[in-house]
């Protein structure tokens, strides 16, 4: 969920364009291939991950559903529609994920959450990530779907996102040596109903706060974004939140864990390092994952789902007739993509992931670390937004 530049700009003209059927067919064949390779490597769950990812990519593209742009808009424009959509998404997922986590094993659905300790390293990582998402132009999911949607600049961000991720794995023992709060699950300690109350009420208050800020600035709330077409136009935020909530729930059920993205980036970087002779398998982070480094990338469910996101966004862009990569990128654009990508990757590994794995995955698992990640990442985003202003990136 990211800076949604390419699609938002294209949405300025709502006239439908001719679908690019050759690209659609090619991307569908690629998606089927990824799904089958996942099935061959790890079975039906990884097969399903490819299709869930494609649904996510299409929803992200059509909705321009972004953490990065929404966090920036509440600061620079005092508009909160995007933030309210995020809080709706999280609340919807919690209504399903909390009962699954608490009682799923009774129904034969053994589901695990993301519940992690949070300390100095994670706080620094989330803060760094917040800066990087504004400079790089997106978070984990946003980087993937904008690449699929045709953003050439985001390819640079993604490349350095991967590099920053694998570099961070070499430094994790150092960062983990700093003090940390223990992992805390309010779902486990307080029970289902109290955990839902503790989660949904603050999200509702935050949504009301964004509405207050927006009305104070503009006198009324921004007109809700409307859905113009399911396959060729933009989607409203509510529809986007519903579909992405479905993605999260399906991930819980099929992969038996929350949706995550950036661990796949670290793995891609580790595989590349290993291929060129850098002994990543000796690093503490990878010593228990040597098999993942040596096995096919299609055996990793996160990677397969990531490929699905890119291909789903590509199909959506081509169906809308809007896949048109820009080949010329300014020097400033290249530089900020490199710096932002490195910050994103390094920060994500220190802080257990991005807006999806750490924030959305943490809160929908009932973990305190998801809320703490939000605080430090938003603080970093404020700095990143200011830097964007200094650099005249907007």
Q: What is the reported pLDDT for 15?
A: 58
State the maximum Cα–Cα separation within the chain, in Å, rounded to a whole number.
60
- Residue stretches of the chain with pLDDT short of 50: 1-14
Would you state the structure tokens that stand for residue 71, as one six-digit string?
A: 């966090």
Find all residues with CB under 8 Å of 155, minimum gap 6, and list them. 147
Q: Work out the burial of residue 184: count CB atoms within 10 Å of its CB; fewer than 13 is exposed, 13-18 middle, 19 or more buried.
A: middle
| Residue ranges covered by each domain of the chain | 5-390
| 3-state SS string for 27-53 | HHHHHHHHHHHHHHHHCHHHHHHHHHH
Structure tokens at 340: 């932002």
CA distance 165 to 84: 30
Beta bridge partners of 2: 138
Q: 119: which strand partners?
A: 180
277 Ramachandran zone, left/alpha/beta (phi>0; psi -120 to 50): left
User: What is d(CA 60, CA 240) in angstroms, rounded to the nearest whole number?
Assistant: 7
- Cβ burial of 104 (10 Å; 0-12, 13-18, 19+) is middle
Element (H, E) at 119: strand 118-119
pLDDT at 10: 40
φ and ψ of 295, to 5 deg: -80, 175
Please, what sign has the CA dihedral across residues 4, 10, 15, 19? negative
Q: Is the pTM of this model over 0.75?
A: yes
Distance (Å, whole) CA 386 – CA 336: 14
In this prediction, residue 13 carries a pLDDT of 42
Q: DSSP string spanning 166-189? A: HHHHHHHHHHHTS-EEPP-BHHHH
- Tens of pLDDT along 271-286? 999 999 999 999 999 9
């Amino acid at each position: 969920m990211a800076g949604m530049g390419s699609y938002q700009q294209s949405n300025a003209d709502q006239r439908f364009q001719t679908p690019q059927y050759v690209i659609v067919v090619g991307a569908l064949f690629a998606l089927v291939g990824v799904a089958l390779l996942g099935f061959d490597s790890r079975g039906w769950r990884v097969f399903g991950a490819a299709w869930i990812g494609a649904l996510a990519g299409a929803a992200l593209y059509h909705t321009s559903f972004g953490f990065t742009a929404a966090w920036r808009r509440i600061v620079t424009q005092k508009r909160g529609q995007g933030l309210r959509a995020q809080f709706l998404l999280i609340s919807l997922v919690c209504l399903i994920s909390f009962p699954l986590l608490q009682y799923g094993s009774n129904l034969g659905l053994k589901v695990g959450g993301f519940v992690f300790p949070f300390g100095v390293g994670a706080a620094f990582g989330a803060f760094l990530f917040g800066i990087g998402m504004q400079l790089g132009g997106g978070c984990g999911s946003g980087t993937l779907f904008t690449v699929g949607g045709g953003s050439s600049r985001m390819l640079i961000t993604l490349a350095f996102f991967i590099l920053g991720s694998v570099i961070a794995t070499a430094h994790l023992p150092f960062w983990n040596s700093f003090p940390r709060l223990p992992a805390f699950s309010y779902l486990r300690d307080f029970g289902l109903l109290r955990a839902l109350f503790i989660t949904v009420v603050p999200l509702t208050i935050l949504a009301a706060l964004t509405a207050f800020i927006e009305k104070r600035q503009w006198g009324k709330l921004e007109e809700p974004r409307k859905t113009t077409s399911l396959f060729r136009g933009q989607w409203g935020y509510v529809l986007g939140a519903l579909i992405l909530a479905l993605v999260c729930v399906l991930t819980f059920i099929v992969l038996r864990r929350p949706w995550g993205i950036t661990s796949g980036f670290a793995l891609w970087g580790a595989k590349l390092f290993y291929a060129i002779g850098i002994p990543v398998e000796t690093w503490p982070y990878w010593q228990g994952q040597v098999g993942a480094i040596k096995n096919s990338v299609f055996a990793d469910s996160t990677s397969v789902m990531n490929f699905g996101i890119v291909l789903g966004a590509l199909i959506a862009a081509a169906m809308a007739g809007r896949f048109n990569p820009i080949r010329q990128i300014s020097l400033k654009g290249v530089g900020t993509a490199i710096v932002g990508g490195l910050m994103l990757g390094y920060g994500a590994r220190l802080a257990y992931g991005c807006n999806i794995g750490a924030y959305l995955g943490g809160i929908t698992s009932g973990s305190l670390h998801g809320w703490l990640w939000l605080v430090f990442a938003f603080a970093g985003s404020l700095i990143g937004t200011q830097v964007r202003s200094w650099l005249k990136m907007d």
